[in-house]
Structure 1
Amino acid sequence: MGNDLGVVGVIERLWRYPVKSTGGERLHSVDVDERGLAGDRLYAVRDAEGRFGSGKNTRRFRRMDGLLHLGSRYPRGTPGPEPGPPELLDPHGNPVADPTAYLRSHLGRDDVELAREGAVSHFDQLPLSVLTTATLDWIRREVPGVAVDERRFRPNILVRTPPGTPPFVEDEWIGHEAAVGDTLRIEFLRSSERCVMTNQAQRDLPHSPLILRTIARAHDNRLDALARIVAPGTAAVGDRLVIG
């Protein structure tokens, strides 16, 4: 575990992505269990080969350009640990009546459907991604004139760090456990290797190849801290992140 680091920041924003690779929804608080944020990436766009829509091509994922221009959210006030099914939002933020029909038209493919997670996980790696304002502010300084905010990196938690915190401070958390709020405990295991998805346009954020190029040059294409859930609980805006 190493030395305790203590309070490293507070939760500034919480993000959940009901449909993988679409724009997410900001939350004030959310339950977190072993799988991650309740309902996070619980649905995905699946093709006839069983691969899920993403910003890249791998064994499990297929690149489907256009998903980032869409959004997703769960209906407000839905009770229970699973808040679905989600609403799919068009590029103007309006819910669509038939998500699968809309996706087929939007993507120009007749073999896709909106699918709930089954035996194969929708997560790229680990269930929780945490990013700091220190790292985000550094990227902004490195690429002036480019619209940069956390939506490009799709974290679940954006942590507000104190002034003077160095960029990529998330590296120091790897191998440590952390407390979030009263009951939630997580363990940071590694960081994400970034792909072209960080450059892609989404709604009001234009395409920019400078984003990924900058991360590659400065930090070997890695950004954030990925965690597993040690003990379930609730995360809320304003909660302290305490390492150790």
Structure 2
Amino acid sequence: MAGAAALGTVSQLWRYPASSLAGERMDAISVDRATVDGDRLFGLVDASDGEIARPDREAKWHKVPLIRTRLSEDRRLEVAVPGGDWLPAPDPRSDRAISTFLGFEASIRPFGQENAAPAYAGPLTEARYRKAPIHLLTTASLARLKALHPQGAPDPRRFRPNIVVDMVPIEGSFPETEWIGRKLAIGDLLLTVSEPCRRCGFTIIAQDGFDTDPGILRNLVRHNAHNLGVYCTVDRPARVEIGAPMRFV
């Protein structure tokens, strides 16, 4: 491994404390066997029926990715609607702010009691997706998408990666999609690329700084079998920082 040339370096790191809400950009993340520390601990539901947010399928949820999230130093969730202050969640104050922003009664709920504050006695919800440990995306693939769809904005936030690796573009290629089964070292973290990440309607939704764009998904369907980026399993957990090199093992 020591002699392998670097494929690229880590340029962005993300975790998503609440599913479907905006992610939290990090200088470093801690990765264990199952997940990124602090990733996808909470969900947003329709308070009338407990339905979990589906921005990829229902227009009523399309503004959800505009709601910011972060974890405090004591690992409590805080959320902020556009133009609003940071508020603790789950909490009636944040639920009211989110409900007003969305136009219907909505509520933040933990995916398990272990994710809630000790005093929390409210309802729980269940994660909608099977959670892959790591979602990795290269700037080379983003550059390929931009070449196919020059008028589009293939911002990483459309795709919700944990790790973005800055990598020289390869003409005509979404490179990581071709790495299934290969092993990667990112700093001290060891990963196996397990499967391509199949994209959904979430990728076309407007977020802060870019507009709704069906051409994003249309080009991925046409040119890369619906896929962008890859899921990885963890062979050796580690802390990863911005600037860490990525190599094949």
Q: Which runs of 5+ in 1 are unaligned?
A: none
1:196 alignment partner AA: G
Alignment TM-score, normalising by the size of structure 1: 0.84
The match for 1:33 is 32
The match for 1:153 is 159
Quick check: 1:56–1:63 contact (8 Å CA) kept in 2? no
1:70 alignment partner AA: I
The match for 1:108 is 103
| CA-CA distance at 1:224 after TM superposition | 0.5
Task: Give the % identical residues.
Answer: 29
Q: 1:148 to 1:56 in 2, by over 3 A?
A: closer
Quick check: 1:71–1:93 contact (8 Å CA) kept in 2? no
The match for 2:44 is 45
| CA-CA distance at 1:164 after TM superposition | 4.0
Q: 1:41 to 1:68 in 2, by over 3 A?
A: same
Alignment TM-score, normalising by the size of structure 2: 0.82
| CA-CA distance at 1:94 after TM superposition | 3.7
The match for 1:69 is 66
SS at match of 2:240: strand
The match for 2:213 is 208
The match for 2:183 is 177
2:167 alignment partner AA: T
The match for 1:87 is 78
CA RMSD of aligned residues (A): 2.5
Q: 1:94 to 1:35 in 2, by over 3 A?
A: farther
Q: 1:103 to 1:124 in 2, by over 3 A?
A: farther
The match for 1:9 is 8
Q: 1:45 to 1:93 in 2, by over 3 A?
A: same
Q: Which runs of 5+ in 2 are unaligned?
A: 113-124
Q: 1:5 to 1:224 in 2, by over 3 A?
A: farther
Quick check: 1:41–1:122 contact (8 Å CA) kept in 2? no
1:54 alignment partner AA: R
Quick check: 1:24–1:72 contact (8 Å CA) kept in 2? yes
Quick check: 2:87–2:94 contact (8 Å CA) kept in 1? yes
2:191 alignment partner AA: I
* CA–CA distance in structure 2, aligned partners of residues 231 and 103 of structure 1: 38
The match for 1:187 is 192
| CA-CA distance at 1:6 after TM superposition | 5.5
| CA-CA distance at 1:86 after TM superposition | 1.7
Q: 1:62 to 1:121 in 2, by over 3 A?
A: farther
